[in-house]
Amino acid sequence: MISTTAWLLAGLGLFFGGLQLLTENLKRLSGRRLRTLVARYTRSTLMGVLWGGAFIAVTQSGAATMFIIVSMMRSGMMAVRQAMPMIVGVNIVGALIVLILVVDIKLAVLCLIGVAGVLYKADSRSTAASLVGALFGVAMLFFGLDVMNGSVAPLADEAWFADLLSWTRGSYLLGFVIGCALSFVVQSSIAVMAVVLAFEHSGIFGLGESVMIVYGANAGSSLLTLLLSVGLKGQARQIAMFQTFYNIAGAALLVPLFYVELWFDAPLMLAAIRMITDDVGGQIAAAFILFNLIPGAILLPLLTPATALLQRLWPDTEVEVASRPKYLHEHAADDPDTGMDLVALEQARLVQYLSRMFDALRPGRPAAAFGQIQEAFGILGGTVRETLDDLGAGRRLSEDSYERLNALLSFQHSLEAAAATLSGIAREQRTLVSTEVGRRFSAAIVEGLDTIVLTLGDVLQSHDPADRAMLAAMTSDEGNGIRGVRSAYLAEDRNLEPDERLRLLAAANHAERLIWLLGDLGRYEAVVATD
C-alpha cells in the first residue's frame, strides 16, 4: 500500500511538475509576433476553434494556452468574442489527449525525456532552450500520467480495497461525485482519467461507473475554475465563467441522458461509445472526448449572445479599458513611419496617465486608485515597447527613421522611469500623511509635480515653442520645480524628528528625480513628435 501511494504521488508530482515547466517555457515563447499572428487569423469562429486546438495540441497545457489568450486580450489584440472559439477548440482538442492514455507510449516518452533533458542542459538560456524546456515538460507530463496509470493497478488485488469499492458499484451518482471530488483535489480531469483507466483495466469499475466518473471529473474541473475565478474581474472573469459554463452545460445535458438510457434502455451515449470501439478503455476515452465535443457544438452558434451576457454580468474593469491601445493595432509595425506616429500618440496617453496617478494621490481618492492607473500604465507601456521592438526588427530604416526610433525608445525608457519614481513618491506618501507636516509637504509636491506633467502634456499636444520654454524653465536645475521642492522641504525640516526628516528627504529626492525625468521627456519631444 505504501509503495502504491508513493508511486501515485510520484506520478502526480511528475504530471504537475511537467505542466509547470511547460507553462513557464511557453510564456517565454509567446511573444508579440505570435500573438499578433493569432489575433489576425481568429476573425472567424472556425479559425478561432482551429487556433485553440493547435495551441492545446502543441502545448498539451490548458494553463499555457489560457495565458496566451489572456495576454492577447490584455494587450488589446483580441476581444472576448474572438477568444471564445479558441476556448472551444482547447476543450475539444484537449480531450484528445486521453487517447495517449490508451496507447503504450512509455518508450517514446522515456526517449523524449532523455533527449530533451540533455539538450536543455546543453543550453538553458537561448530561445531554443525554451522550446526544448517545453518539450521536456510535455515528456514529464506524459510520463507522470503513465506512472499514475500503472501505480493503482495493484490495488485491485487488495481485499480491503475491493470491499471498500464494492458498495459503490451500481451507484452511478456516487461515481459522478467521486469524479468531481478527485478532479477538484488534483486539479486535472486528465489525471483523473489516468486513474479511472487504471481502475477499469483492473476490473474495479465497470463502464457505467467509469463514464459517470468521467462526467464528474469534467464538472469538477469547472467547479475548481469557478472557485479560482472568485477574485477575477472583467475579461479574465468572463473567460473563466465561459469555461465553467462549458463543462457545467455538458454535465447538465449528458448526466440526465445517462439515466434516460439506463432506465428506458434508449440507445444514447453508452450505445454510441460501444459502437465506436469494443475496447473498454477506448470507450471511456470516447466518453471523455464526446463530453467536451457536444457542448462545443451547442455553444458555437450562441457565442455572440453569450459574449453580450458575460459582458453585462462581468463588465470590463477600469484597468482593462484604460490599458487598451487607442491608436496601436495589429498592423501598426507594417509601415515604420506610420507605426512611429501611432507610438508617439500612445506615449502622449501615457503622460496623461502620470497626471492621473498624481490625481489618485490627492486626499479623498480611493486607496486602490493609484494601483489601478499604475497597472494600466504598465500594460499599455508593455504594448508600446513591443511595437517599438517590432519597428526596429528585421528591416532597414533611413537615418532619420533610426534617429526617431531611438528617440521614441529613449522617451519610453524615461516614461517608465518616471512612473517608477512616482511609485516611490506614493510609497513615501503613505507614511508622510500620518502627520500634519507630512500632509503639507505631500500636498505641495503633488500639486507642483502635476503642474509640470500637465505642461509636458501641453507640449506633446501643441508643440508650441512657448510651452517648451516653460517646461524647460520648470525642469532646469535651478528652475521653479526643483526650487519649489527644496523650499517645501526646508520649510518643514525645522523641529522634525529624525525619522520624519528622513522620510521627507526621501520623498524630496524622488520628486527632484521625477522633475529631471520630465525635463528629459521634454527634450525628446521635438524628435518624437508626429507630423
Name which of 295, 298, 255 is nearest 95 in CA terms. Answer: 295
**What residues contact residue 68 under an 8 Å CB cut-off, 6+ apart?**
26, 30, 34, 35, 38, 55
More confident of the two residues 344 and 38: 344
Q: Is the pTM of this model over 0.85?
A: no
The pLDDT value given to residue 525: 78
Contact 414, 406 (CB under 8 A): no
Q: For the residues 17-21, what does the mean pLDDT come to?
A: 76
The pLDDT value given to residue 296: 92
Average pLDDT value for the chain: 82
pLDDT tops 90 at residue 138: no
Helix %, strand %, coil % of the chain (to 5) = 80, 0, 20
* 117 pLDDT tier (thresholds 50, 70, 90): confident
∠ CA 337-339-345, rounded to 5°: 110
C-alpha 212 chain-centroid distance? 32
* 216 pLDDT tier (thresholds 50, 70, 90): very high
**What residues contact residue 470 under an 8 Å CB cut-off, 6+ apart?**
455
The pLDDT value given to residue 1: 64
Distance CA 439, CA 86 (A): 51
- The C-alpha cell that represents 232 in the structure block: 477575477
pLDDT tops 80 at residue 517: yes
The pLDDT value given to residue 513: 92
- Among 112-121, 191-200, 351-360, the range with the most confident prediction by mean pLDDT is 351-360
pLDDT tops 80 at residue 258: yes
The pLDDT value given to residue 101: 61
3-state secondary structure string, 159-175? HHHHHHHHCCCCCHHHH
- The C-alpha cell that represents 364 in the structure block: 479623498
3-state secondary structure of 126: coil
* 343 pLDDT tier (thresholds 50, 70, 90): very high
pLDDT tops 70 at residue 451: yes
Distance CA 149, CA 145 (A): 6
Contact 51, 89 (CB under 8 A): yes
Cell 465563467 belongs to: 241
* 295 pLDDT tier (thresholds 50, 70, 90): very high
pLDDT tops 90 at residue 354: yes
Q: For the residues 435-459, what does the mean pLDDT come to?
A: 88
* 424 pLDDT tier (thresholds 50, 70, 90): very high
Q: For the residues 363-388, what does the mean pLDDT come to?
A: 91
pLDDT tops 90 at residue 353: yes
The pLDDT value given to residue 355: 96
The pLDDT value given to residue 516: 92
Contact 195, 22 (CB under 8 A): no
Q: For the residues 195-200, what does the mean pLDDT come to?
A: 72
